[in-house]
Structures are given as structure tokens and as C-alpha cells.
Amino acid sequence: MLKQGLTQKLNQKLSPQQIQLVKLLEIPTDEFEKRIKEELEANPSLEGDLDYSAGENGEDNYSSSDSEESTYEESATSEDVDLQKTEEVIDLSDYLNSEDDGYRSYSGNYGGDDERTETPLSQTETFLDHLHTQLSLKELPEKIVTIATTIIGNVDDDGYFKRDLDAIADDLAFGQGLECTEEEVQKALHIVQEFDPAGVAARSLQECLLLQLKRYNVQEPAIAFAIQILEDFYDEFTKKHYEKIQRRLNIDDDMLRLAIDEILHLNPKPGNAFNTGSKNYRSIIPDFILSIEEGEMHLALNAKNAPQLRISPYYARMFDDYSKTRSNKEAVQFIKQKIDSARWFIDAVKQRQDTLMAVMQAILEYQYDYFKEGDETRLRPMVLQNISDRVNLDISTVSRVTQDKYIDTPYGIKPIKSFFSESLSTDSGEEVSTREVKKILSDLIGAENKRKPLTDDKLAEILQEKGYNIARRTVAKYREQLDIAVARLRKEL
């Protein structure tokens, strides 16, 4: 049986303005600049000056100054704004009568006497194109060419061929109706392996290195021993059991060092030379600028974080005119919606600036000793809660502010997250940052004897002698976080 009734519920939801602010807090400077441009394009009632050049006094507009605050206040009204520039009507004849006729912007609308200057597009030969070109220069039977073409198509970006020969034979049989034996595929593979770059189409790292070495003068003792090491003692080589290799080959330290050096100078990924252009590199734009002048620290926002945004005076005037006449309610509603959206966005940007500065200023004060000298051992243990308590913001807000953000300091560009670390107790009971321990650990490994690298047990013992209560497992964890290999793999001749 259906019944109707009234119930009361208490729900807490984020307003659209709060959601907008949260999203703005998360993004770094480069994405924030794109977001500003998107909003300017989507909302005609919003105007902004994205010129980040130096101001009249020669100082970059990094921080939110008093003049900027007045700009936001003035944007709310339109009475005192000069409408002359915004109400200019564009004369189409200026474009039609110009020397560079507008129709010439379309392809093909040029006369025979018109000079055309075009910038050719650069065409870079790809890795596979390079291999196909070399194949076309070979005088080979058509069947071998077809097999070699299939092999080249299965070479990965690093230059390796990692498929079974019988699988290639099956592909040719089912895909192209070409019957071939495994020996014919092997023959075609050896032909491709003769191409440049050396080591291409290898089926393993060991084969890749051997293919490169065999192009050298194999009569040289160092090359000959290097080939023998890879062929007979590859497992010992990867584990750096150099003493065992030396005993088995009966060679002295100098010859072993020469042979190992020949191997280490080889290219483990021959295809990478052709793929550097396709890699995506992200440029880091600092969100904050820290300068130290006469012992005083000056923190400022990057100029791109402080755009000059305002309500379009033309749209504000239009809204007033339509409101007074009380005509065209749809137009009034549309303009009001756009103006409200622009004001919300301006307020969100201003709150973003204030929040960023408040959080970074708190971090600067908390880690004052580090920022004063740049010595990582002076970093204090710091977690998000420490900063949250100082700025009276939620931990999630502090996390958003510090995520993917960077600061330009006199000691280099640093990620904000790098200033946060857990604590570790010393013998005296003092709480020190784990960053301090990692710095000491890195220095110890950097200064070790590479012929006899320090083990994790030995590193833990040294740190304990320095007063840090740390176990071997913790040393291993910090070493892995520093991307440092185990002692056995750090060994050098």
C-alpha cells in the first residue's frame, strides 16, 4: 500500500562556487593559465589582462597587491568606467580595403604574380622508416623482403624484436598466404640485424650488446674479452661478480676494466635515438617566487597566478540599459547569468591567490632555518596537520594547495611536497626530519669506496653511530626511495 509523508533531512552540499574554488586550488600554474583563457573565451562578460610583463617600476607582478585588490573592487561597478574603447564599432571596410586582401587567407586565392612564401613542414624520418629504407637498398629475393618487412613491423620502439620465429611464419601463412620455414625467417632476421643502428632487432639485451660488439675490431683483446664475458658469463656480469669472471678468464684488473668499459659504453636501447622527438616533456613553472635580500625573505606569487580580471563595462552597461527598459527578459537573464558567473570566477581566483599565499607563507615560517641557508639537514619534520593548524584550513585544502606546486628559491626550483616529511628520533630524543637522514644516507653512499660499497647493515651501523635510531629495513626503504641500488649493483672496478 502506497503512502505519502513529509520527512526532513539535513544534507551538506558544496555550492557551485565552492566546487569551482576547489578545482582552481588543485591545478598548477600552467594549467591555471589555460583555465583563465578558457573562461575568457566562454564568458564574454569577463575581461582580463594576461600580459605578465614587468610593471612600471620594473618589478614583476607576482603578488596580489593593493592595486590588484582595487581592480577587483572596481570591476563590480560600471559607472566610473570609460566606455569609449569598449563600444567602438569595428568597420568591416578596414579589412576589405587593406593591402592584404582578406580573400587571400584562403588556399588557392592567389594570382600568378603574387609571391607566396610558405614555411615547409619538417619531416623527420621515423625509426621504422629508417629500417625500411635500408631494406629497400638490399638486393634480396622477394620472399625474404616480405619476411624482413614483417620482422621490421614487429620491432618495438626500443629496437627489440620480441616475437618467436614460428609466430612470424604463422602470421605470413595466415595473413599473406606465404609459406616459409623457420630457417628463412631466421635468415631474414639476421639481415635486419645488420642494419643501423647497431643492435637493432635483437631478441634480448644480451644479443643486443653482442650485435654491437661484433661490429668492432674483435681482434682487440678488450673487445674479445668483452664478447666472451657476454657469451659465457652474462649472469655473473649482471650480478657484478667481477672476481669470479676475472678468475675464470685469468686476466688482470686492467684488462677486466677495459672489457667492462667496452660493454658499459654500448647502447641498451638502440631505437631510442629515433624516438626522442616523440617524448612528452612537461615544463615546470614555479607557482611561487622566493627571494632573499639583505637577510630578509620575500615571497610572491608567480605573475601568471595573479591575472587582472574584471567585469566587461560594455556588458555591465548593457545590463543596466535592458533592466531600465524592462524589455527582452531573456536577454536580461542571459547577461545577468554571465555577469554573475564572471563575478564568481573573479572571487574564486582571488580566494585561490589568498589561500596559496597563506599556505606557502606558513610553510616558509615553519621551515625558516632551511629557506635561510638551503641546507636540507635543517628541514624540520612537517606534516599537513602542522600547516593546517597554522592557517586554520582543512587538511584536504592544504593538500590541494601543495599538490603539483613548485617554488623558485635561491637554491633551485623545489616541489612544495618535498618540504613535508616524517620524523625520526635521535639518541637524545630530538625529533629530526627523515629528509635529513636521507641526505646523510645519500652522502655516505656518494663517498663510499665503489670497489667495496656499503651494505645496508653497514649504513645502519654508521647512522646509529651518528645518533640516529634506525634499522636496516628502514635504511633499505630510504635507499629505494632515493632510487639507489643495492651494494652489489653499485660495485665498480
Instruction: State the chain's mean pLDDT as an integer.
Output: 77
Assign 297 to helix, strand or coil: strand
Q: How far apart are CA 418 and CA 406, in angstroms?
A: 9
Indicate the Cα dihedral angle 347, 348, 353, 354, nearest 10°: 70
Q: How far apart are CA 368 and CA 374, in angstroms?
A: 10
Mind listing the pLDDT tens digit for each residue in 264-276? 888 888 888 776 5
Q: Please give the pLDDT value at position 282.
A: 63
Q: How far apart are CA 376 and CA 435, in angstroms?
A: 7
Q: Please give the pLDDT value at position 50.
A: 61
Which among 221, 287, 231 is positioned nearest to 257, based on CA atoms? 221
Bridge pairing between strands 423-425 and 308-311: unpaired
Q: Is the peptide bond before 313 cis (omega within 30 degrees of 0)?
A: no
Domain 127-202: top CATH class:
mainly alpha
One-letter amino acid at 478 equals Y
Q: What is the average pLDDT across 420-424?
A: 75
Q: Which three cell numbers stand for residue 217?
A: 675490431
Q: What is the average pLDDT across 282-286?
A: 79
Assign 293 to helix, strand or coil: strand
Q: How confident is the model at residue 358 (pLDDT cuts 50, 70, 90)?
A: very high
Measured CA distances, 126 to 123, 149, 281 (Å):
9, 15, 19
Q: What is the average pLDDT across 76-91?
A: 35
Residue 66 near residue 322, CB atoms below 8 Å: no
Q: How far apart are CA 199 and CA 161, in angstroms?
A: 10
Number of other CB atoms surrounding residue 70 within 10 Å:
10
What phi and psi values does residue 362 have, to the nearest 5 degrees?
-65, -40
Domain 422-493: top CATH class:
mainly alpha
Alpha helices in 417-469 (DSSP H): 434-446, 456-465
DSSP 12-41: ----HHHHHHHHHHHS-HHHHHHHHHHHHH
Residues 6+ apart with CB under 8 A from 42: none
Q: From its phi and psi, is residue 266 left (phi > 0), alpha (psi between -120 and 50) or beta?
A: beta
More confident residue, 466 or 385: 385
Mind listing the pLDDT tens digit for each residue in 126-159? 888 888 888 888 888 888 888 889 888 888 888 8
Cα 384 from chain centroid?
Answer: 24
What phi and psi values does residue 408 have, to the nearest 5 degrees?
-90, 110
Bridge pairing between strands 412-415 and 406-409: antiparallel
Q: How far apart are CA 440 and CA 443, in angstroms?
A: 5
More confident residue, 181 or 427: 181
Which class for 329: exposed (0-12), middle (13-18), buried (19 or more C-beta within 10 A)?
exposed
Measured CA distances, 6 to 9, 13, 119, 219, 432 (Å):
10, 21, 71, 95, 58
More confident residue, 99 or 419: 419
Which class for 309: exposed (0-12), middle (13-18), buried (19 or more C-beta within 10 A)?
buried
Q: Please give the pLDDT value at position 327.
A: 64
Q: Which three cell numbers stand for residue 398?
A: 592544504
Q: How confident is the model at residue 109 (pLDDT cuts 50, 70, 90)?
A: very low
Q: How confident is the model at residue 361 (pLDDT cuts 50, 70, 90)?
A: very high
